[in-house]
Structure 1
Amino acid sequence: MWTKLVPVTALIASASLTSGTAYAAPTTPVGGDALGSHGLVAPEGVKKPPKNEATSFVIADVDTGDVLAAKDAHGRYLPASTLKTLTAVTLIPKLDKNRKVRPSDNACNQEGTAVGLSPKTTYKVDDLFRALLMSSGNDAAMALAETNGGVARTMSDMNAEAKRLQAYDTVAKTPSGLDKPGQSSSAYDLALIARAGLANPAFRGYISTKTANFPAPKGHYEISNHNKLLWRYKGMIGIKNGWTSKALGSFVGAATRDGHTIVVSIMRHEGYFWDEVAKLLDWGFSVRGKVTPVGKLVDPLPDPQAIPRASAPASHVTPAAQPPLLDTAGRKQSDSTKLIGAAVIGGGLLFGLIWLGYGIRRRRRGGSRV
């Protein structure tokens, strides 16, 4: 027995970002009204997508953003480790990949899947992202969050990034995806986040790596990618799978064939989903460009911090640029004293000009003096 976290259309009214900017969230399904359906939404004139056991799924064309088919696209469920895609999309631009990190005991002792971090070993941020996306290391997720300034700051950053991407079904409570009350995502959001990640070369590099050497207290050991389709599906790029006893199976993955990329996301699958995902990818490739899409993966909203501000006119002087003494005196003046001050300053200026003219005439008559 399980309960969906919230209704599809119960979207928040607004979301405050770390920059202080609020993005107004829509009250209709993101990507198109048809995506608000709980049932299967598929194009007409072609064979329906292969049957699968996922409660929710999305098949989309990464290049165009066209959603080719979906089922309960905006249904909000526990994401498990697929949430690590948001962790990576958020933190890759923020952290120097060559920065060296000595993980805390807290990071090394995270429950669930781990890459095996040791507090006695120094890692590069690059190593930690590899562990996060290849080996689904919950310890790596915590180490990255702590490197970013702590869990609270990282959750704020991740949720801000989700809203910027218009992934309004997503609420991050942990950097790893470990179950926590209130945490959620949707098949639509997972596809949206994946599309943003695929635009980042570093993200693509991590998710497509099959095996890699990983630092250890003495030497190194080999880690491998948990995405089984990397090893056996033609054109597979990778991305992320996840599982917990409450979330059940979840997955988001993308593949490229003939210069086109298809992404598939599934949520709440009770069993072995790899073969079903492969068939959904096959179907996506077979219909892309031939059918009317049922929806759209929307583009990210503009980042307010990236919008240049208009420069002030050259004659503008801010209060901070004024002499402190005159500024303080000016604030204490009444209207009458300001008028008197203006008269005094004006009179002094006139007197100065007369005196200057007199001096010039004297120099012309008597010559310069040393």
Structure 2
Amino acid sequence: MGMKLVPVAALLAAVALAGPAFAEPPAVPVLGGDQLASKGLVAPAGVKAPPKTKATSFVIADAGTGQVLAAKNAHGRFLPASTLKALTALSLIPKLDKNLKVRPSRTAVNQEGSAVGLSVKTTYKVDDLFKALMLTSGNDAAMALAEANGGLATTLADMNAEAKRLQANDTVAKTPSGLDKPGQSSSAYDLALIARAGLANPEFRRYVSLKSSRFPAPKGYYEIGNHNKLLWRYKGMVGVKNGWTSKALGSFVGAATRDGHTIIVAIMRHEGYFWEEVEDLLNWGFATRGKATPVGRLVDPLPAQPVTAEVAATATPSAAPPRSAPVLDAAAAAQTGTSRAVGSAVVGVGLLGGLGWLLYGIRRRRARRQALDQ
């Protein structure tokens, strides 16, 4: 007796009743709390709303507890400009002897943008270069430090590995200076993570807190000053870093300490003069700390891991993006016994399996476009 063929229409109806052959992957939790997925303002109830700012994105956090007190588009990815130098410093301070003497190359000396004024005829201590990096935002100092660390590729691999360790997953470093480059990004949330980790490092804290310092010249020394205006006018200001490019616009991450508590403020994509707004955000943070339910938290760093080829690959613009968790395993786990059986039958006839993958691919492309649009 011959096998009776099941019409395709009947098979389609059976699948529709049983559920999809390929289930949606489970939702990925938002780092720091689901409220931080919002692109709008997220603030606690029962207290005065945070002051207005022209920044596209910001985070106000308690450095001690890690509580995020308020945020706007916390995970929005933007060009970081020179705030990325905070990650450069945090990555290289543990690796470089501050008394190591460095003679910069012409490539370092000729970096575009802000510079401390390095000369190929002068030898500098690493300690001097970190001061130039964090006070005067020297792009020449950033490249000289990268050279002292074994080169640009090594330094970018170190920076991206450090970002992953901090769980600053919105951050991709393509330059040690923060000069705009395709694929480079960070977020207000990540800048707050980086600042919190930096403040726990005594050397990092020393550099960002300096108002001024003497800097070597071919003949003698000259004075350099910190670009962070709040070090002179805001009570308890610690640092950390501000930045600006025509594409990134204004960015800032900084912290202040009062009565034993430290508040971190990070802003990105501000169109103009932001210092007074940062002061207002800091004041709100100190007034609100301990009096309201936080809207999220700054996650703790992961245990240190060796630099892998996958992390190092992020240092080059042509590198493929890091692989995500296997979606098939997640999808299989979400299926019921019925959907597995029907899905297998469909794959056998080669019709619905292809349709399922087509729909899945469309969803993936849409998700990627949405991520790029942030």
Deviations for 1:64-107, whole angstroms, at most 9, x for unmatched residues?
Answer: 00000000000000000000000000000000000000011100
Alignment match, 2:130: 129
Alignment match, 2:202: 201
C-alpha distance in structure 2 between counterparts of 1:129 and 1:39, whole Å: 36
Identify the structure with bigger relative contact order (alpha carbons < 8 Å, sequence gap 6+).
Answer: 2
Alignment match, 1:19: none
Q: Find the residue that maps to 2:115 and give its secondary structure.
A: coil
Q: Find the residue that maps to 2:71 and give its secondary structure.
A: strand
Alignment match, 2:225: 224
C-alpha distance in structure 1 between counterparts of 2:270 and 2:255, whole Å: 18
**Residues 251-262 of structure 1: pairs in structure 2 closer than 5 A:** 251-262=252-263
Q: Is 1:97 aligned to residue 129 of structure 2? A: no
Alignment match, 1:301: 302
Alignment match, 1:56: 57
C-alpha distance in structure 2 between counterparts of 1:223 and 1:29, whole Å: 41
Unaligned runs of 5+ in 2: 1-26, 307-374
Deviations for 1:36-65, whole angstroms, at most 9, x for unmatched residues?
Answer: 100000000001100010000000000000
Alignment match, 2:116: 115
Unaligned runs of 5+ in 1: 1-25, 306-370
**Residues 4-43 of structure 1: pairs in structure 2 closer than 5 A:** 27-43=28-44
Alignment match, 1:263: 264
C-alpha distance in structure 1 between counterparts of 2:255 and 2:292, whole Å: 20
Aligned-pair CA distance for 1:304: 3.8
Percent identity, please: 79
C-alpha distance in structure 2 between counterparts of 1:193 and 1:29, whole Å: 18
Alignment match, 1:152: 153
Q: Find the residue that maps to 2:195 and give its secondary structure.
A: helix
Is the CA contact 2:103–2:122 (under 8 Å) kept in the aligned structure 1? yes
C-alpha distance in structure 2 between counterparts of 1:229 and 1:185, whole Å: 23
Aligned-pair CA distance for 1:27: 3.1
Moved over 6 A (4+): none
- Structure of larger gyration radius: 1
Q: Is 1:167 aligned to residue 168 of structure 2? A: yes
Indicate the RMSD between aligned Cα atoms, in angstroms.
Answer: 0.8
C-alpha distance in structure 2 between counterparts of 1:287 and 1:206, whole Å: 29
C-alpha distance in structure 2 between counterparts of 1:102 and 1:282, whole Å: 43
Alignment match, 1:17: none
Alignment match, 1:72: 73
C-alpha distance in structure 1 between counterparts of 2:124 and 2:304, whole Å: 31
Alignment match, 2:319: none
Aligned-pair CA distance for 1:29: 1.6
**Residues 243-322 of structure 1: pairs in structure 2 closer than 5 A:** 243-304=244-305
C-alpha distance in structure 2 between counterparts of 1:33 and 1:95, whole Å: 38
Aligned-pair CA distance for 1:303: 1.4
Look up the equivalent residue of 1:232 and give its one-letter code: R
Q: Is 1:176 aligned to residue 177 of structure 2? A: yes
Count of aligned positions:
280
Is the CA contact 2:45–2:292 (under 8 Å) kept in the aligned structure 1? yes
C-alpha distance in structure 2 between counterparts of 1:214 and 1:179, whole Å: 27
C-alpha distance in structure 1 between counterparts of 2:231 and 2:305, whole Å: 37
C-alpha distance in structure 2 between counterparts of 1:225 and 1:77, whole Å: 24
C-alpha distance in structure 1 between counterparts of 2:162 and 2:89, whole Å: 11
Is the CA contact 2:192–2:253 (under 8 Å) kept in the aligned structure 1? yes
